[in-house]
């Protein structure tokens, strides 16, 4: 029997080991960074809700209020981490380290090489940081109660949205790299840790939408005003649900996102009133209206339940499609129809849950003392419904588009 012996070529095995170690350290660097960023994201989410309540109950007495400290330390932390990551990845790319190549990075400005997600996240954080002093300037000029839809609020929010989506890219690209390399990874409910991370970020994205929805514009058409707050609810839900389904290919993830969201709002609602009481006491401040003091509110805490039925519908259709090997949920048209189907429950349930939370909970708000002719409603209701359904369908198609990219993108 012939025996074959393999002799190591001098220098080769140490090189392979070095490459493996380098690849591992690369993986570790990216993954530790993104989990730390996720922590910052939760911190920023709490800060955003706290800030909204601080404005309502205490007022904006200066820039460095406790909620602002929380928000901007989160933004600065994420921004600095993303910047550091981009620089480190560029150096490692130029040194030809294992795991840092054209498959796992994108080129930016012809010089930098880094994972797309970190680039997007860093850009979002930068945008929010640029918006901060401009927003302060706007408040100095026009007062503390300028609505959410002030120009530099919009700029900051856009930055936040970009940053959050960037984090999904990082989790998703790492998961895609694992999938392509067929690396074994532990799973919980059929999802890897990286996929759980991406779902947590999507849950935070929906929470980010909930934070400002009551301050959406209320345009008036003659004596009839129409609240637009269901718009962001519908778009974020359809986008996140279909995006998550397309990314993970697992029915049930939409329900998981709603569960995260519910935990998040419960925790926030437990924390914020207490935090305001403590901060006001410590700083010797007074409430704007001494008769209005923050307290735990079940209505806000349970607000994510408006997404329960839509999540069940999305998951149910996905499961049915997988079991019957159907094209339902796989074509643009069917995804759009799913978006259409899940829109009405959100639009109808939101005012119902919010009825004791806000005066502006109804969608159609007749101006007091004025008679609204029935013809107004005949025109307004179908127009509003068409816009909502259109937004729902668009959100779902967009989510599916992004979900497909998250599924396959390794860069």
Partner 1 sequence: MRRIILSVGAVPVILTLFMLATGTARASGSAPASSETLAVGPYIIDFNLYQNPPYVNTSVEVTVVPHDSRLQLQGYVTVEPGLGTDAVPLRFNLTPLGDKTGTLKGTIHMPVQGAWNIVINLNGPQGMGTAREPVTVAAPGAIPIWLGWLIGASPLTLIAFWIWRQHRYKRVLLAQSPGDDSLQVS
Burial environment of residue 218 by CB neighbours within 10 A (0 to 12, 13 to 18, 19 or more): middle
Q: Contact between 249 and partner 1 (CB under 8 A)?
A: yes
Position 127 contacts partner 1 (CB under 8 A)? yes
Determine, following the binding rule CB under 8 A, whether residue 387 of this chain makes contact with partner 1: no
> Max CA-CA distance within the chain?
102
DSSP-derived letter for residue 150 is: S
Q: Which residue has the tokens 């005012």?
A: 351
The residue among 189, 190, 165, 171 whose CA lies nearest residue 240 is 165
CB of 31 or CB of 60, closer to partner 1: 60
Confirm if 146 and 184 have CB atoms less than 8 A apart: no
292 binding partner 1? (CB under 8 A): no
Of 194 and 400, which CB lies nearer to partner 1 in the complex structure?
A: 400
HSE on the CB side for 27, CA within 13 Å? 15
Q: Which residues contact 279 (CB under 8 A, 6 or more apart)?
A: 54, 58, 66, 285
E-only strand ranges, 127-200: 187-188, 191-192
Q: Which residue has the tokens 């923050």?
A: 294
The binder of partner 1 chosen from 41, 58, 125, 200 (CB under 8 A): 58
Q: Which stretch binds partner 1 (CB under 8 A): 20-28, 282-290, 296-304, 371-379?
A: 282-290
Piece of the chain touching partner 1 by CB under 8 A; list 16-24, 183-191, 263-271, 285-293: 285-293
Figure out which of the listed residues 27, 73, 136, 279 binds partner 1, where binding follows CB under 8 A: 136
Counting Cα atoms < 13 Å in the Cβ hemisphere of 115 gives: 31
> By C-beta, is 205 or 349 nearer to partner 1?
205
The two structure tokens encoding residue 323: 């079991």
* Closer residue to partner 1, CB minimum distance, 18 or 404: 404
Please compute Rg for the chain using Cα positions: 24
Among 2, 141, 282, 371, binds partner 1 (CB under 8 A): 141
Q: Does 20 bind partner 1 (CB under 8 A)?
A: no
What is the spatial distance between Cα 227 and Cα 216, in angstroms, rounded to a whole number? 7
For residues 56 and 267, which CB has a smaller minimum distance to partner 1 in the complex? 56
Nearer to partner 1, 154 or 278 (CB): 154
In a 3-state reduction of DSSP, which class is residue 57?
A: helix
State which of positions 184-223 bind partner 1 (CB under 8 A).
Answer: none
Which residue of 15, 18, 61, 69 would you call a contact of partner 1, by CB under 8 A? 61
Nearer to partner 1, 173 or 264 (CB): 173
Residues that bind partner 1 (CB under 8 A): 58-63, 127, 131, 134, 136-146, 150-155, 158-159, 161-162, 246, 249, 284-286, 288, 327, 330-333, 335, 398, 400-405, 407-409
């Amino acid at each position: 029997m012939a025996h074959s012996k393999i002799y190591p070529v001098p220098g080769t095995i140490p090189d392979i080991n070095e490459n493996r170690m380098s690849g591992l350290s690369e993986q570790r660097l990216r993954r530790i960074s993104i989990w730390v960023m996720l922590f910052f994201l939760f911190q920023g989410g709490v800060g955003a809700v706290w800030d909204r309540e601080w404005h309502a109950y205490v007022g904006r007495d200066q820039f460095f209020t406790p909620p602002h400290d929380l928000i901007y330390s989160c933004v600065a932390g994420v921004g600095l981490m993303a910047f550091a990551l981009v620089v480190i990845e560029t150096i490692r790319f130029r040194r030809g380290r294992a795991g840092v190549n054209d498959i796992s990075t994108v080129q930016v400005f012809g010089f930098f090489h880094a994972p797309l997600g970190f680039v997007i996240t860093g850009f979002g954080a930068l945008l929010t940081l640029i918006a901060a002093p401009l927003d302060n300037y706007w408040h100095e000029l026009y007062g503390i109660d300028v609505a959410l839809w002030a120009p530099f609020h919009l700029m900051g929010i856009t930055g936040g949205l970009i940053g959050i989506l960037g984090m999904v890219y990082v989790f998703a690209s790492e998961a895609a790299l694992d999938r392509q390399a067929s690396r074994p990874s532990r799973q919980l409910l059929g999802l890897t840790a990286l996929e759980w991370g991406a779902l947590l970020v999507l849950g935070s994205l929906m929470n980010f939408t909930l934070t400002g929805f009551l301050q959406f514009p209320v345009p008036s058409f003659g004596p009839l005003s129409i609240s637009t707050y269901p718009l962001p609810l519908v778009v974020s839900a359809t986008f996140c649900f279909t995006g998550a389904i397309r990314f993970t290919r697992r029915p049930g993830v939409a329900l998981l996102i709603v569960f995260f969201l519910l935990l998040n709002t419960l925790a926030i609602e437990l924390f914020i009133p207490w935090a305001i009481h403590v901060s006001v006491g410590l700083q010797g401040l007074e409430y704007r209206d001494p008769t209005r003091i923050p307290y735990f509110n079940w209505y806000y805490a349970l607000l994510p339940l408006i997404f329960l039925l839509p999540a069940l519908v999305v998951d149910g259709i996905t499961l049915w499609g997988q079991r019957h090997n159907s094209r339902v949920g796989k074509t643009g048209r069917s995804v759009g129809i799913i978006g259409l189907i899940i829109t009405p429950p959100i639009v109808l349930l939101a005012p119902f849950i919010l009825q004791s939370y806000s005066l502006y909970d109804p969608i159609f708000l007749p101006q007091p003392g004025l008679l609204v002719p029935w013809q107004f409603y005949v025109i307004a209701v179908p127009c509003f419904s068409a816009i909502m359904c259109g937004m729902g369908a668009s959100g779902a198609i967009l989510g599916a588009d992004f979900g497909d990219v998250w599924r396959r993108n390794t860069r």
